[in-house]
Amino acid sequence: QKEVEQDPGPLSVPEGAIVSLNCTYSNSAFQYFMWYRQYSRKGPELLMYTYSSGNKEDGRFTAQVDKSSKYISLFIRDSQPSDSATYLCAMGGSGNTGKLIFGQGTTLQVKP
């Protein structure tokens, strides 16, 4: 079993829809949780990070962490075609090196 599980999709939604992306994890030692966005043939770009259970909002994006269930989510409101990309969840803090453990990534397509 992988430490971090993420449905690869693909997920296709119409413009303006609310998108929900999720990851589950098995290592309770993870301390911080991140969402990266990766466009085709580009490096991952950090979207959101959270350090504890609860919600964090930034514009159209909301990150949610439930440590008791080992479950994290990213919500995108009013989705735009420019949001079409692969979304990667990542977790860290289980050791002392800052290495991140990534999910497989979910491919999202927002259709105009």
Partner 1 sequence: GAGVSQTPSNKVTEKGKYVELRCDPISGHTALYWYRQSLGQGPEFLIYFQGTGAADDSGLPNDRFFAVRPEGSVSTLKIQRTERGDSAVYLCASSLRPGGLSTDTQYFGPGTRLTVL
Please, which residue, 76 or 102, has the CB nearer to partner 1? 102
Cα–Cα distance list, 25 to 7, 9, 98, 104, 106 (Å):
12, 18, 17, 12, 15
**What is the longest distance spanned by two Cα atoms in the chain?**
44
CB of 37 to partner 1, least distance (A): 11
Please, which residue, 8 or 54, has the CB nearer to partner 1? 8
Q: Which residues contact partner 1 (rule: CB under 8 A)? A: 4, 6, 8, 31-32, 36, 41-46, 49, 51, 88, 90, 92-93, 95-105
CB of 112 to partner 1, least distance (A): 26
CB of 5 to partner 1, least distance (A): 11
- Give CA–CA dist 74/56, Å, rounded: 10
Radius of gyration of the chain (CA): 13
Tokens representing 112 are 């105009």
Please, which residue, 52 or 80, has the CB nearer to partner 1? 52
